[in-house]
């Protein structure tokens, strides 16, 4: 797979962090508040936020980032799954289908934070982990936020067929503070885009 770079604002070399999560949480719910805090903290740390651009935790993270003065990118589809694009996006990138959407979410990113979600979030995490473990994208932080992920990873490690070296590509953070610390350690906010990145076509 070819690594891409988004259509950046001229002179904007800030790393893009993709946040995966559920479209179901609504304002006032704990998962919404957590996603809002992730978006806010990413913006304050100097990162560009990318996500699926619709509702739930995507709405919350984009809102948190925008209200903190950050830049947001949403990758949406011609055929919507769930909510329409949210109003907190600086840039909406519209693609035809889910496969193109996954590419646009993963390939430009310099790091990932996975929130608690459903089957879609699991698919996004698993694909990203596979690409990292297979060396098909450069090694970047893949951070799973919340203790629930630890229980899932214990089950995967115990019951599935996997290689011990694959586990170096995934980290579990107990809270937002730890997630941002892990991210900063792997991706300084002033780090330029990966060498060889290509514009999205």
pLDDT tens, 83-129? 789 999 999 999 999 999 999 999 999 999 999 999 999 999 999 99
Q: What is the pLDDT of residue 188?
A: 86
The verdict on residue 163 lying in a domain is yes
The verdict on residue 10 lying in a domain is no
Q: Where in the sequence is the domain holding 34, given as residue range(s)?
A: 15-184
The verdict on residue 129 lying in a domain is yes
Segments of the chain scoring below 70 in pLDDT: 1-11, 80-82, 191-201
CATH number for the domain spanning 82: value is 3.40.50.450
Q: What is the pLDDT of residue 19?
A: 98
Q: What is the pLDDT of residue 198?
A: 37
Q: What is the pLDDT of residue 13?
A: 85
The verdict on residue 6 lying in a domain is no
Domain count within the chain: 1
The pTM assigned to this predicted structure is 0.89
The verdict on residue 80 lying in a domain is yes
Residue 99 corresponds to which tokens in the numbers above? Answer: 């496969």
The verdict on residue 143 lying in a domain is yes
Q: What is the pLDDT of residue 83?
A: 73
Q: What is the pLDDT of residue 15?
A: 96
**Residues counted in the chain:** 201
Q: What is the pLDDT of residue 33?
A: 98
The verdict on residue 200 lying in a domain is no
Query: Which DSSP string do the residues of 108-169 spell out, in sequence order?
Result: T-SEEEEPS--HHHHHHHHHHHHHHHTTSS----EEEESHHHHHHHHHHHHHS---GGGGGG
Query: How far is 103 from 178, CA to CA, in rounded Å?
Result: 27
The verdict on residue 9 lying in a domain is no
Percentage of the chain surpassing pLDDT 70? 88
Instruction: Determine the Cα angle at 66 with ends 61 and 137, to 5°.
Output: 55
């Amino acid at each position: 797979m070819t690594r891409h770079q988004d259509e950046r604002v001229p002179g904007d070399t800030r790393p893009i962090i993709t946040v995966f999560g559920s479209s179901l949480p609504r304002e006032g719910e704990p998962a919404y508040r957590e996603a809002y805090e992730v978006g806010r903290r990413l913006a304050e740390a100097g990162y560009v936020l990318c996500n699926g651009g619709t509702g739930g935790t995507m709405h919350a993270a984009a809102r948190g980032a925008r209200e903190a003065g950050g830049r947001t990118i949403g990758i949406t589809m011609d055929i919507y799954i769930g909510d329409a694009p949210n109003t907190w996006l600086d840039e909406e990138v519209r693609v035809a289908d889910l496969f193109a959407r996954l590419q646009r979410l993963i390939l430009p990113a310099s790091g990932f934070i996975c929130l608690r979600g459903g089957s879609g979030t699991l698919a996004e995490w698993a694909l990203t982990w596979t690409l990292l473990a297979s060396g098909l994208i450069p090694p970047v932080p893949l951070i799973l936020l919340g203790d629930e992920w630890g229980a899932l990873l214990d089950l995967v490690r115990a019951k599935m067929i996997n290689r011990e070296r694959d586990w170096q590509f995934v980290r579990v953070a107990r809270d937002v503070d730890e997630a941002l610390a892990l991210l900063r350690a792997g991706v300084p906010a002033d780090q330029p885009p990966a060498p060889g990145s290509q514009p999205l076509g």
